[in-house]
Chain A
Amino acid sequence: MKALEVADLVVEIGGQRVLDGVSLDVAVLEFLCLLGPNGGGKTTLLKAVLGLLAPRAGRILVLGEPPEKGRRRVGYLPQRKAFARGFPATAADLIVAARRGAWPLRAREEEREAARRALAGVGGERLLDKSLHALSGGETQRVFLARALVHAPELLLLDEPTAGVDSRGREEFLELLGGIAERGRLAAVLVTHNLAAVRRLADRVVYLEHRVLVEGTASEVLAHADLPRAAGHDHAEPGPLCEED
């Protein structure tokens, strides 16, 4: 069984074809980096894998199951933290809600302990009772990573986790992801523009621009001479590949 199987996937949003016949696999325990230009369909692919977007055609199997079932065994770190800033929530609330599947009016002691352990695993134990809206970008990412890991997922989906984080926080976060990858108990798909992350973490790299353009090891894909042109890379815009986010 693969951690993720995507075959001939077509997704349209607002009448526009964002994914056009995408096929890719992620093996159990494999760390896959997903590269591509903004608007190339990386986030759309993750949302389809999570069952948040319905494909027009194609097939997705998450740990051998359809997305709506398989996603219970998936951890997800979203790119854009779209939570309501005015909603009074702590890190513990967020993590307990992910375990419970409902917002906790009051967390039980064993739930708080599980949240504390999840935060300790990402170096954020002191954030347990902090309000989410008071956290820095790096702290927010740690809390959301703890949320993604709290139910011991077998597949981790990370959507540009170091975007909006300062350079020190980015280094620390990559270190953290490296540790998770080395512990090797899960497969991961990392969407990133960050070359340092790709070189450090990727077992395999897929370059996606509406369809899979290039696939291989990090050195094979990054050495691909046609990539910037194939990606329609405009040097005036944030590129699909850069040393920093």
Chain B
Amino acid sequence: MDFLTEPLGHAFLRRALFAGVAIAAAAGLLGPFVVQRGLAFLADGLAHATFGGIALGLLLGAGLDFAPLVALPFAVLVALAIGGVRRRSGLGADVATGVFFTVSFALGVIGLGLRPAAAPPVDVESLLFGSLLAVSHEGLFAVLAAALVTLVVLLRLWPQLAYATFDPELAALSGVRVAFVEQVLMALVALVVVAGLRSVGVVLVSAVIILPAATAHLLAERPSWIAALSVGLAVGASVLGLFVSYHLNLAAGATIVVLLGAGFFLALAGSSRRPSS
């Protein structure tokens, strides 16, 4: 029992636990739509693009706790711009994502370099790889709010999103506002990415969206079971990863992602699912 109770005696770990569970639940419910739509690279690209938004926030004088407030609209704009470029140019989503991902990341690097010499130093490593154990009260509140918004909107729009994911044309004929629900999905991906930045970092945040959903796809057949399993796996890995990282003195975000990765490969080895033609 000490394995569980001893760490929970620390306030910082309780905050980390709440933040980790909240972001995992939101990412777990969002993930199946991202995976089924083939948007895994978009989630990853958006996470990297958000680095540019964080750098912009820092350049404008916000601290690390408040830079996400600038990064969020930046990420939403990038997500919508990717969709816009894809529709207007006819280029694939991967190409449009690649363009915005690299340019935004490069702008982020330049933005950090342009900060005044007297500005407080920024721990770039914690931005890239996360620092779940360092989540502040304000940071926890922001993560909980983002997760709540994501869960409420997703549960409300689930039937429309699922229909538009299955076949946008048939969904439109049945009265689903396909463009609207797709834009909402993009905005939610941006929200979860920004909310997860402090927990697992720019480089790893997309893994919390993609890995549990991909694993659930290997194990379950019904959309409702896939969603439930994805949430369960994300939350489970988040809790277990936090305790394991505490006791073994490992990076919390990376430990969570490694556990999710292990789950995926175990499911892959045990799955009888064959690719559909």
- Residues of A in contact with B (beta carbons under 8 Å apart): 50, 52, 71-72, 76, 78, 82-89, 94, 97-98, 100-106, 131, 133-134, 147
Which B residues between 182 and 224 are near A, CB-CB below 8 angstroms?
217, 220-224
Q: Chain B contacts of A98 at CB under 8 A?
A: 170, 174
CA distance A50 to B36 in the complex (A): 26
Rounded to whole Å, the gap between the CB of B243 and the closest CB of chain A is 33
Contact of A88 with B226 at beta-carbon distance under 8 Å, contacts A102-B159, A103-B163 already known = yes
Within 8 A of A (CB), among B148-173: 158-160, 162-163, 165-167, 169-170, 172-173
Instruction: Please determine whether B163 and A84 come into contact, CB atoms closer than 8 angstroms.
Output: no
Count A-B contacts at CB 8 Å.
74
Does the CB pair B36–A52 fall under 8 Å? no
| The 4 A-B residue pairs with the shortest CB-CB distance in the complex, in nearest-first order | A102-B159, A103-B162, A133-B276, A83-B167
Q: Is B62 an interface residue (CB 8 A)?
A: no
* A133–B163 alpha-carbon span in the complex (Å): 16
Question: Which one of A52, A72, A89, A100 lies within 8 Å of B166 (CB-CB)?
Answer: A89
CB of B30 to closest CB in A, whole Å = 16
Q: B174 and A101: CB pair below 8 A? A: yes
- Which residue numbers of B lie inside 8 Å of A, CB to CB? 35-37, 158-160, 162-163, 165-167, 169-170, 172-176, 217, 220-224, 226, 276-277
8 Å CB contact of A84 from B166, B220, B224: B166
Residues of A within 8 A of B172 (CB): 52
The answer on a CB contact under 8 Å between B175 and A101 is: yes
Given contacts A97-B174, A101-B174, A105-B158, contact A86 B217 (CB under 8 A): yes
The A interface, classified by DSSP as helix, strand, loop or mixed, is: loop
Main secondary structure of the interface of B (DSSP, over half): helix
Complex contact B276–A105 (CB within 8 A)? no
Q: How far is the CB of B90 from chain A (nearest CB, A)?
A: 8
Complex-state Cα separation, A103 to B159, whole angstroms? 4
A80 to chain B minimum Cβ distance, whole angstroms, is 9
Q: Are B224 and A106 interface neighbours, CB within 8 A?
A: yes
Residues of A within 8 A of B158 (CB): 103, 105
- The minimal Cβ–Cβ distance linking B38 to chain A, given in whole angstroms, is 8
Q: Report how far A147 CA is from B170 CA in the complex, Å.
A: 10
Query: A101: shortest Cβ distance to chain B, in Å?
Result: 4
Q: List 16 A-B contacts (CB under 8 A).
A: A52-B172, A52-B173, A71-B173, A78-B169, A84-B36, A85-B277, A87-B36, A88-B226, A97-B163, A98-B170, A103-B158, A103-B159, A104-B159, A105-B158, A105-B159, A133-B276
Residue of B nearest to A104 (CB): B159
CB distance from B64 to the nearest CB of A (A): 38
CB pair B163 A83 closer than 8 Å: no
Report whether A103 and B173 are in contact in the complex, using a CB–CB cutoff of 8 Å. Answer: no
B230 to chain A, nearest CB (A): 13
Q: Is the CB of B176 within 8 A of A82?
A: no
Known: A52-B173, A105-B223. 15 other contacts (CB 8 A): A76-B173, A83-B166, A84-B36, A84-B37, A84-B165, A86-B276, A87-B162, A88-B223, A89-B166, A100-B159, A101-B175, A101-B176, A102-B162, A103-B158, A134-B276
Given the contacts A102-B159, A102-B160, A87 and B173 also touching, CB distance less than 8 Å? no
Chain A, Cβ-Cβ closest to B155: A105
Q: How far apart are B89's CB and chain A's nearest CB, in angstroms?
A: 12
A203 to B203, CA, bound (A): 63
Q: Which residues of B contact A100 (CB under 8 A)?
A: 159, 174
Looking at the assembled complex, report how far the CB atom of B166 sits from the nearest CB atom of chain A, in whole angstroms.
Answer: 5
Q: Note all chain A residues with C-beta closer than 8 A to B163.
A: 97, 102-103
Write the chain A residue with the least CB distance to B35: A86
